[in-house]
Amino acid sequence: MTAEPVYEVLARSATVSLTATVIASLLGISLGTALALAGLPGRRLLTAVVNTGMAVPTVVVGLIVALLLWRSGPLGDLNLIYTVRGMIIAQVAIATPLITGITMAALQLLPPELPEQLRSLGANRRQLVLRLWIEARLPLLAAAMAGFGHAISEVGSATLVGGNIHGQTQVMTTAIVENVSRGEFGTAIVYGVILLVLAFVVNSLLASIQQRGAVWARN
Amino acid sequence: MGAELSLRAVRHRRGGRDVLSIDRLDVTAGERLAVLGPNGAGKTTLLRLLAAVEPPTAGRITVDALDTASGGVDLLRRTAYVTQRAGLLSTSALRNVELPLQWRKVPRRQRRQLAMDALDRLRVAHLADRPARALSGGEQQRVSLARALALDPEVLLLDEPAAGLDAQSRTVFFADLDRALGDRAITVVQVSHRADEALHFADRVIVLLDGRIHQLGTPDELNRRPVDTDVAALVGYENLIDAEVGPDGTVLVGEAPTGLTTDHPPGPVTVAAFASGVRLLPADWPGLPVQVTRVSPGPGHRTVAVAGVVSLLAHVPLGAGTLRAGLAVRATFDPALSTILPRP
């Protein structure tokens, strides 16, 4: 078996995690907003589900997604098991509860009079939500960062749903595990350092946007 | 032009109890109404219902003929609500004022002009580009008010807008508010727990206690004829003392004359007197026998505490004789600064 160049594995890791983060952010921020602001029926139950989702081990999420996507599973016809798209679905399932929970807390921590003040100033529902997101932009960015961190660092679901197939679904974390199991610690450490650098670069980028916003608001 | 406000059989419940209960209230277009009451009286609730940010549990509130329960954004856009905390967004002061105009689809150039005019009227135009949340409390309240006035609302609802300001800043703030409103015929409802703010500002004042209108009248009526001791205390009468009306209409405390007469029937009454309406006289004059217990300086006067047949606070002009603790004096009341209330 020819070893895949590391940059390809790295690119796949970044693609899977960033795509999952974007999708999970869209889902999580929307759901978190609905839970924080709208009087949804079953809100308490949904909040409990979200909080549980934040604490579920990623390998369990991976197992559930794998069972759903398995050839004989309920979504088997979609042929997503052992594919990058399947891995993205698993990572979305992992990151969404986290982003939802942080969004909900961020919006609930805004001054309580702010939504009704904005409504009384004539904001419609869309304008109101948009403005509240802008007000909570720093914790919302933190939510996305946490979601990305969760996605890029997890190994259980990537193995169960992706299968660690060389040249197709192997990502940095599964490559590290494989190298360690083969006793190739040096390679594993190199992969680990590269993964660390990737996480550092993405988070630094988001943190710099976040801090710029914080400094402006303070001055 | 201001809008008319009307409340009919309005009830509002929160936490299992009635927090507001108003059978009828009409505010005419362009009127300035102050709502005076202690904390927890239902003042902010009344304002929130008028602002249509929440519907009443029962009853009907209309702005002109529009029911607040069904008015939606169109109705909200006829009113402007300034909350106790400025509630500014984390952007520049100018953007804070511009944003609601943008929501109303005012063209960019025009909204910039309107926003700058409003900031200028409140004397904060020089802060337009500063981050709003970094401004002082007084500056933030001015920006908040400018944001409301830029919308040229028909109804302006003010919830203790100067609550966080010191006495001097409050005076300047209300002078600026007066000037900014100018001769605009906006209907204004202002909530306050301070009598000086409410009486200074309003055409009429309602006193709200436990969610109910306790008294409704002009500032002068409230000042001169509070209906009971609760209203008198809110209006700022420092002295509330038990007294008796004699057969000839003389008001006495025990056997001592108060200097007041009344057409109340003989029997128990309460004398409400401003501290500035208490006269301290030599001990051999007719009046209530009391002794000075404390003399402390106040702004433009000395505050003198006396005790004897009654305990009173008096404001004495600076330089009006020598008063010291232990001095025996007689106290009487100035009829122009006192009132007689029935005692239940």
- Quote the ipTM score: 0.73
**Residue A210 above 80 pLDDT?**
no
Structure tokens at B2: 């201001």
Query: Between chains, do A122 and B131 touch, taking CB under 8 Å as contact?
Result: no
Encoded amino acid at B100, one letter: P
The domain ranges of chain A are: 6-218
- What is the model's pLDDT at position A219? 46
Mutate to test the interface with B, among A109, A118, A121, A131 (most CBs of B within 10 A): A121
Q: How confident is the model at residue A215 (pLDDT cuts 50, 70, 90)?
A: low
Structure tokens at B207: 């006193």
CA distance B7 to chain A (A): 19
* Residue A181: exposure state from Cβ atoms within 10 A (0-12, 13-18, ≥19): exposed
More confident residue, B34 or B75: B34
The continuous run of DSSP H or E covering B67 comes out as strand B66-67
Q: Is the dihedral of CA A114, A118, A124, A126 positive or negative?
A: negative
Return the CATH fold of A6-218.
MetI-like fold (1.10.3720)
Which residue from B minimizes the CA distance to A125?
B73
CB B181 within 8 A of CB B12: no
Which CB contacts under 8 angstroms, 24+ apart, belong to A49-56? Answer: A49/A97, A50/A97, A50/A100, A50/A101, A50/A104, A51/A97, A51/A101, A52/A97, A53/A96, A53/A97, A53/A98, A53/A100, A53/A101, A54/A97, A54/A98, A54/A101, A56/A97
Measured between beta carbons, which residues in chain A are less than 8 angstroms from residue B80?
120-121
Predicted confidence (pLDDT) per residue in B317-341, tens digit: 887 677 888 999 999 999 999 999 9
Core vs surface per residue A54-92: b (16+ CB within 10 A) or e: beeebbebbbbbbbbbbeeeebeeeebbbbbebbbbbbb
A39–B contact, CB cutoff 8 A: no
Predicted confidence (pLDDT) per residue in B116-129, tens digit: 999 999 899 999 99
Return the CATH fold of B5-229.
Rossmann fold (3.40.50)
Rounded Cα–Cα distance for residues B102 and B90 (Å): 17
**Residue A86 above 60 pLDDT?**
yes
**Secondary structure of B191-245 as H, E, C letters:** EECCHHHHHHHCCEEEEEECCEEEEEECHHHHHHCCCCHHHHHHHCCCEEEEEEE
Give me the mean pLDDT over the A38-57 stretch.
86
Structure tokens at A105: 């807390």
- What is the model's pLDDT at position B161? 83
Predicted confidence (pLDDT) per residue in B233-252, tens digit: 999 999 999 999 999 999 99
Q: Strand, coil or helix: what is B17?
A: strand
Closest CA to B270 of B308, B248, B294, B237: B237
Where does CATH 3.40.50.300 sit in chain B?
Answer: 5-229
Query: Between chains, do A124 and B99 touch, taking CB under 8 Å as contact?
Result: no
Distances (CA, A) of B189 to B113, B161, B179, B214: 27, 12, 17, 17
- What is the model's pLDDT at position A34? 93
List the strands of the sheet with B204-209, edge to edge: B79-82, B155-159, B187-192, B32-36, B204-209, B212-217
Give me the mean pLDDT over the A45-55 stretch.
89
Predicted confidence (pLDDT) per residue in B284-311, tens digit: 999 999 999 999 988 888 999 999 989 9
Any idea what DSSP says for residue A78?
G
Average pLDDT, chain B: 91
B131–A contact, CB cutoff 8 A: yes
The residue behind tokens 């209409």 is: B249
Strand-pairing partners, residue B158, are: B82, B190
> Within 10 Å of residue B69's Cβ, how many Cβ atoms?
16
Query: Between chains, do A121 and B89 touch, taking CB under 8 Å as contact?
Result: no
Give me the mean pLDDT over the A75-82 stretch.
91
Q: Is the dihedral of CA B209, B212, B218, B222 positive or negative?
A: negative
